[in-house]
Amino acid sequence: MKNLIKDSVSGFKTLVVGMRLTIDQFFRRPVTVHYPREALKMPERYRGHIELVRDPETGNSLCIACKSCEKACPSDCIFVEGIKREGEKRKSPTEFSLDFTKCSLCGSCVEVCPTDALRFTKEYNLASTERSAYLYDLLRRLEGQKK
Ligand code: SF4
Ligand code: SF4
């Protein structure tokens, strides 16, 4: 009988503590979101895959196809080709591809670029079982963003 009363008191105490914690959490602001209907804003320093930056004056890529990023990449995942068009002072890219399957997000390409033509995206919503889904044509991507 004595043990039964002791157990009941202990059980009641545990219940009160649990309820107090539940009520306490109930009135706090949630730290979770209803993904995918809601998404978190990525922090400033977040690194998604790289992308080309547009020249605000011409609307074209700031890239001059110097290949510095291609040479600086330790994972060999950038490929750039470019030509100097008639009447233009600098080269412009004709091909700019990224194999994101090999990218370590080290940032060497972004740092070495002499024209600040590369930056990290805030893209995190990537999921595929196909390797080809991570091979990006960054020039075409930039063109697509014009629309
Ligand atoms: S972040 Fe690093 S690994 Fe990724 S493309 Fe740039 S240089 Fe290569
Ligand atoms: S380093 Fe910059 S300018 Fe040179 S090819 Fe790469 S993105 Fe273009």
- pLDDT band (50, 70, 90) for residue 145: confident
Q: Choose one of 118, 119, 136 to mutate for the ligand 2 pocket test, by most ligand atoms within 8 angstroms of C-beta.
A: 118
HEC states along 18-73?
Answer: HHHHHHHHHCCCCCCCCCCCCCCCCCCCCCCCEEECECCCCCCECCCCCCHHHHHC
68 C-alpha to ligand 2 centroid (Å):
6
pLDDT for 45 equals 94
Q: What is the DSSP letter of 110?
A: H
Position 146 scores a pLDDT of 67
Contact 99, 135 (CB under 8 A): yes
User: Both ends of the chain: CA-CA distance in Å?
Assistant: 79
Which residue has its alpha carbon closest to ligand 2 atom 1? 113
Pocket test for ligand 2, best of 115, 119, 138, 142 (most atoms within 8 A of CB): 115
| Predicted confidence (pLDDT) per residue in 40-99, tens digit | 889 999 999 999 999 999 889 999 999 999 999 999 999 999 999 998 889 999 999 999
- C-alpha dihedral (48, 133, 109, 82), degrees to nearest 10: -140
Count other C-beta atoms under 10 Å from residue 82's C-beta.
Answer: 18
Give the binding-site residues of ligand 1, using a 6 Å CB cut-off: 50, 72-75, 77-78, 103-109
Q: Indicate if the pLDDT at residue 105 is higher than 80.
A: yes
Q: With 60 as the cut, is the pLDDT of residue 147 above it?
A: no
Q: Sign of torsion, CA 86 91 92 98? A: positive
C-alpha of residue 36 to centroid of ligand 2, in Å: 35
